[in-house]
Chain A
Amino acid sequence: MYNSIVLVKQVPDTTNISGQVMKEDGTVNRSKLPAIFNFEDRVALEFALQVKDRCGGKVIAVTMGPPRASDVLRECLYMGADEAYLITDRKFAGADTLATSYVLSEAIKKIGSADLIFAGRQAIDGDTAQVGPQTAEKLGIPQITYVEEILDISERTVRVKKKIDGGYEILESQLPVLLTVLKDAAEPRPFSAKRLMAYKGAKSLLELEKLAEGNSLLYTDKLVYEYKNRSLFIPTLTAEDLHIDVARCGIKGSPTKVYEVESVVLTGSKPMRFENSKAGMLSLVDMLMEDRILG
């Protein structure tokens, strides 16, 4: 039996950017983009579920994000996660990878011990690939990034295949360990129809508060009690719950500043033509080698 925690993130869907979501200055209006489950995090969840299928144990999904991030947590439940935690607080807003990994590591300590922590390699909105590794650092546990496959897991050791340039490495680590996984490493399972129907009404504390605000007959405490009883409560952790140093959270705790965003368009200065022949091809190869594009 191995317990896993999976770090997941809700990201703007940048795969289909239409005219409506482009602002006049050419930047993307994020609020107009549909929010989706970061794909590599789905693969991470699939890894955790496969470990559970093989060896038993529990899978807990965790996300830090705004209230609407509970959408991805519900999707984690549809796929097979046993529990899902929402880490949310206005104080967490604007966090860079340092502040995010600090909050996540504190949340993991609070949630409890995990043998394996999984995360996607990176999220499609920031592409930093930092949060997983930094979380491992803060927890003081080993990490293996770019994992393609779990080869074996026995006793307190895991053996994995890690992708490297031009090949792979086989690495072994003691548990607990944090693994970040690649997009093609596994095909995430579809939502289970039964779980989808069972958990479609799962709600976080914030969603229940909103429900209670809109109806004078409802009280948050009662709702939480009722949703917990029906296993439909998504536990919610705030800065207060985590007893953490708020100076290290959110925008305050984030030394990373985006200085400028530039759209770089690569264009050839002088187009060249090569003969459609063996000689032409060889001269193209020569030229590419000279420019150190090849070789």
Chain B
Amino acid sequence: MPNYFLDNPDILFHFNTFDLKEVVAITEDDYTQSREFSYAPTQYEDAMGNYRKVLEVVGDLAGNFIAPRAAGVDHEGATFANGRVTYAEGTRKNLRQLSQADLMGMILPRKYGGLNFPFTIYMMTVEMLSRADASLMNIFGLQDIGDTIRKFGNEGQRMEFLPKISSGEHTGAMALTEPDAGSDLQAVKLHAYQNEQGAWFLRGMKRFITNGNAQVLLVLARSEPGTKDGRGLSLFVCHHDKTVKIRRIENKLGIHGSPTCELQFNDTPAQLVGSRRFGLIKYVLDLMYRARMGVSAQALGISQAAYEEALKYARERRQFGKAIADIPVISNMLIDMRVTLESNRSLFYSTTQCVDVKEKLEDKIEKMKGEGKSVAEETARLKHITKVANLLTPLSKYMLAECSNRITYDALQIHGGTGYMKEFHVEQLARDARITNIYEGTSQLQIVAASGGVINDVLGEMFEAKEKREYKGGLTRLANHLKEIRRLFLDSLKYVVDKKDTGFQDVAAKDLVEMYGSLYTGYLLLDEAEIEPRKVFIANRYIVTALAQARRNAEAIRGELFGDLLHASKILQ
């Protein structure tokens, strides 16, 4: 009876070290909601107690019900016939249980049937569900389109769409990409127009729409004729009625349980969300924080599952007269996987907490403005935390998705020939992981998104402060390594900036982002090592590896590794 919450000491470690006091106080209106709702907490400890109990339910569902169905879901997949999508049987059962458990509107306010939970707790849920069945995240995780409607829609739209999302009666989809607008969303063409009464309609195609069969669709469309860029796009919400045709679903390498649809909108009645022209530049960017974190959680869950498979296999499989886990080369691989996994988790939950504070501060400021209060102090804080969130979100997505590919790769490798066979779960994990560094922005685009914050050294002050403090005896060496990484980073950054070559800068961004990311993660692990002795091992291997890697990154930049880009056409001829 595996419970994916209780059987995972690292998840428990993070849960126990969460600091959500401010976040919960804001979202619970200083605990006044408990007067109206019997299931609202009366104080912080009560709230954390609630989250723990609910996460135990999630862990039980994930480990004992959803995971055993995952192979069936992968095999059967979502299917398409006569214009209709049908989920795999296992997916339907999963969604029914998740609805019965009230988990389909975790971050939505209670007023709309939600649980009003912090984003961080919701993300922990997504991690555990993804460990059980990665494809389920693609449906379950779309509940947070509800949060976009809550934030930017009007009260009528909230009442119309949110309660049914919370109850699980409806699921959602984000219809953003088109055949010619994938990574480049500014090129979206789907046409939005108004009739004489001012009602909006949508006409055009959307492609690669995850869960496009959903009942509620958020659609990015061109509402301003004649415009070519992102400023002519607005966000709409509509019901999936008979004017929306599903043309086909894709036949994918992995996440078979998640239907990826091509949609055709034939004069579909829709409602404008928020203001015109802000579709991409404000609302979709906001939605991306949560969507990217959702994919990071998915990657992390897959990594955990792959690591478990590899460890179990390595302990059972005997060759050369012993369990292969006891062969140094294999145990070294397993330790690498474990260290990567735990460092990923530290980065991830640090990021979710940052996103949580950012979002709740935004809500708080809105509310204070409504009450006519001064918001100068909060606004200054929000400005800084938004910069940090803008850095950490793509950084997490980049790191976790890439690492998930590495961990599943190694997990399959440890299985040897059997890992390549369908009978073993690890091949599914390797296929499922492969999408995580592609969708919701490829790794290359995450680097672009993170590089602004890296080049402006937005964590500079935090690093300065960390460098000044003393760490417990044995950790001083590691703290010095981090100082060295920072020195290498600053030298490399200066080199790149001084060069004033944008092409070079774009390519070198990967090395800079990696150095900066390992620096931040390294400090997180160092802090953890101070409170949990076992984490010293994790911090040690992570930071020693990071230093070696940073030297390589710095050498690549200063050694003009990318100088040959100018000759690309000759090299590639």
A219 CB to nearest B CB, Å: 22
B111 CB to nearest A CB, Å: 13
A45 CB to nearest B CB, Å: 13
A197 closest partner in B (C-beta): B39
Known contacts: A16-B1, A230-B38. The answer to whether A194 contacts B115 by CB under 8 A is yes
Q: Tell me which of B54-62, B335-343, B416-424, B427-435 binds A.
A: B54-62
CA distance A189 to B53 in the complex (A): 16
The reply on A193 being an interface residue by CB < 8 A is yes
> Which residue from B38, B57, B101 sits with its C-beta under 8 Å from A198?
B38
* A196 and B53 form a contact (CB under 8 A): yes
The reply on A192 being an interface residue by CB < 8 A is yes
The reply on B103 being an interface residue by CB < 8 A is yes
CA distance A195 to B53 in the complex (A): 11
Known contacts: A15-B1, A230-B38. The answer to whether A193 contacts B97 by CB under 8 A is no
Q: Which residues of A contact B49 (CB under 8 A)?
A: 200
Most B Cβ at <10 Å: residue of A187, A192, A194, A197: A197
Give 1 or 0 for each of A189-232: 1 = CB within 8 Å of chain B CB.
11111111110100000000000000000000000000000110
Q: Which residues of B contact A230 (CB under 8 A)?
A: 38
* A190 and B54 form a contact (CB under 8 A): no
* A189 and B100 form a contact (CB under 8 A): yes
Give 1 or 0 for each of B49-77: 1 = CB within 8 Å of chain A CB.
11001100100110001000000000000
CA distance A231 to B49 in the complex (A): 20
CA distance A196 to B60 in the complex (A): 14
> Which residue from B40, B41, B61, B101 sits with its C-beta under 8 Å from A192?
B101
B90 CB to nearest A CB, Å: 13
Q: Which residues of A contact B100 (CB under 8 A)?
A: 189-190, 192
CA distance A16 to B101 in the complex (A): 26
* B1 and A194 form a contact (CB under 8 A): no
A33 CB to nearest B CB, Å: 14
CA distance A194 to B168 in the complex (A): 14
Q: Which residues of A contact B97 (CB under 8 A)?
A: 189-190
> Which residue from A190, A195, A196, A231 sits with its C-beta under 8 Å from B61?
A190
B165 CB to nearest A CB, Å: 15
B60 closest partner in A (C-beta): A190
Q: Which residues of A contact B101 (CB under 8 A)?
A: 189-193
The reply on B530 being an interface residue by CB < 8 A is no
* B53 and A197 form a contact (CB under 8 A): yes
> Which residue from B60, B61, B102 sits with its C-beta under 8 Å from A194?
B102
* A190 and B57 form a contact (CB under 8 A): yes
CA distance A191 to B115 in the complex (A): 14
Known contacts: A15-B1, A16-B1, A197-B50. The answer to whether A191 contacts B38 by CB under 8 A is no
Most A Cβ at <10 Å: residue of B39, B41, B57, B93: B39
B40 closest partner in A (C-beta): A197
A190 CB to nearest B CB, Å: 4
B102 closest partner in A (C-beta): A193
A232 closest partner in B (C-beta): B38
A78 closest partner in B (C-beta): B57
B282 CB to nearest A CB, Å: 32
Known contacts: A189-B97, A189-B100, A190-B97. The answer to whether A195 contacts B60 by CB under 8 A is no
CA distance A231 to B60 in the complex (A): 27
A200 closest partner in B (C-beta): B53
CA distance A196 to B101 in the complex (A): 9
A246 CB to nearest B CB, Å: 38
CA distance A195 to B100 in the complex (A): 11
B128 CB to nearest A CB, Å: 14
A231 closest partner in B (C-beta): B38
B260 CB to nearest A CB, Å: 28
Considering only residues 134-172 of chain B, those with a C-beta below 8 Å from chain A are: none
CA distance A110 to B544 in the complex (A): 71
Considering only residues 94-116 of chain B, those with a C-beta below 8 Å from chain A are: 97, 100-103, 115
Known contacts: A16-B1, A200-B53. The answer to whether A193 contacts B115 by CB under 8 A is yes
Considering only residues 174-198 of chain A, those with a C-beta below 8 Å from chain B are: 187, 189-198
CA distance A192 to B57 in the complex (A): 9
Q: Which residues of A contact B53 (CB under 8 A)?
A: 196-197, 200
Considering only residues 141-200 of chain A, those with a C-beta below 8 Å from chain B are: 187, 189-198, 200
Give 1 or 0 for each of A1-12: 1 = CB within 8 Å of chain B CB.
000000000000
* A196 and B57 form a contact (CB under 8 A): yes
B261 CB to nearest A CB, Å: 29
Known contacts: A15-B1, A189-B100, A191-B101. The answer to whether A196 contacts B54 by CB under 8 A is yes
* A197 and B54 form a contact (CB under 8 A): yes
CA distance A262 to B38 in the complex (A): 51
A80 CB to nearest B CB, Å: 9
A189 CB to nearest B CB, Å: 4
Q: Which residues of A contact B50 (CB under 8 A)?
A: 196-197, 200
Q: Which residues of A contact B65 (CB under 8 A)?
A: 190
CA distance A194 to B65 in the complex (A): 20
CA distance A231 to B93 in the complex (A): 32
CA distance A193 to B100 in the complex (A): 9
Q: Which residues of B contact A194 (CB under 8 A)?
A: 39, 102, 115
B398 CB to nearest A CB, Å: 32
Q: Which residues of B contact A187 (CB under 8 A)?
A: 93
Q: Which residues of A contact B39 (CB under 8 A)?
A: 193-198
B47 closest partner in A (C-beta): A197
CA distance A115 to B50 in the complex (A): 35
CA distance A15 to B2 in the complex (A): 13
Known contacts: A198-B38, A198-B39, A231-B38. The answer to whether A193 contacts B54 by CB under 8 A is yes
CA distance A200 to B51 in the complex (A): 12
* A193 and B103 form a contact (CB under 8 A): yes
A81 CB to nearest B CB, Å: 14
Give 1 or 0 for each of B34-46: 1 = CB within 8 Å of chain A CB.
0000111100000
A84 CB to nearest B CB, Å: 16
* B57 and A193 form a contact (CB under 8 A): yes
CA distance A83 to B550 in the complex (A): 62
B42 closest partner in A (C-beta): A201
A38 CB to nearest B CB, Å: 15
Q: Which residues of A contact B40 (CB under 8 A)?
A: 197
B55 closest partner in A (C-beta): A193
A235 CB to nearest B CB, Å: 18
CA distance A200 to B93 in the complex (A): 26
Give 1 or 0 for each of B17-39: 1 = CB within 8 Å of chain A CB.
00000000000000000000011
List 3 A-B pairs, minimum CB-CB distance, nearest first.
A197-B39, A198-B39, A193-B102
28 contacts between A and B (CB under 8 A): A15-B1, A189-B100, A189-B101, A190-B60, A190-B61, A190-B65, A190-B97, A190-B100, A191-B57, A192-B101, A193-B39, A193-B54, A193-B57, A193-B102, A193-B103, A193-B115, A194-B102, A194-B115, A196-B39, A196-B50, A196-B54, A197-B38, A197-B50, A197-B53, A198-B39, A200-B49, A200-B50, A230-B38
Q: Which A residues are within 8 Å of any B CB, using their own CB?
A: 15-16, 187, 189-198, 200, 230-231
Q: Which B residues are within 8 Å of any A CB, using their own CB?
A: 1, 38-41, 49-50, 53-54, 57, 60-61, 65, 93, 97, 100-103, 115
Known contacts A16-B1, A193-B102, A193-B103; 6 further A-B pairs (Cβ under 8 A):
A15-B1, A193-B57, A194-B39, A197-B39, A197-B40, A230-B38
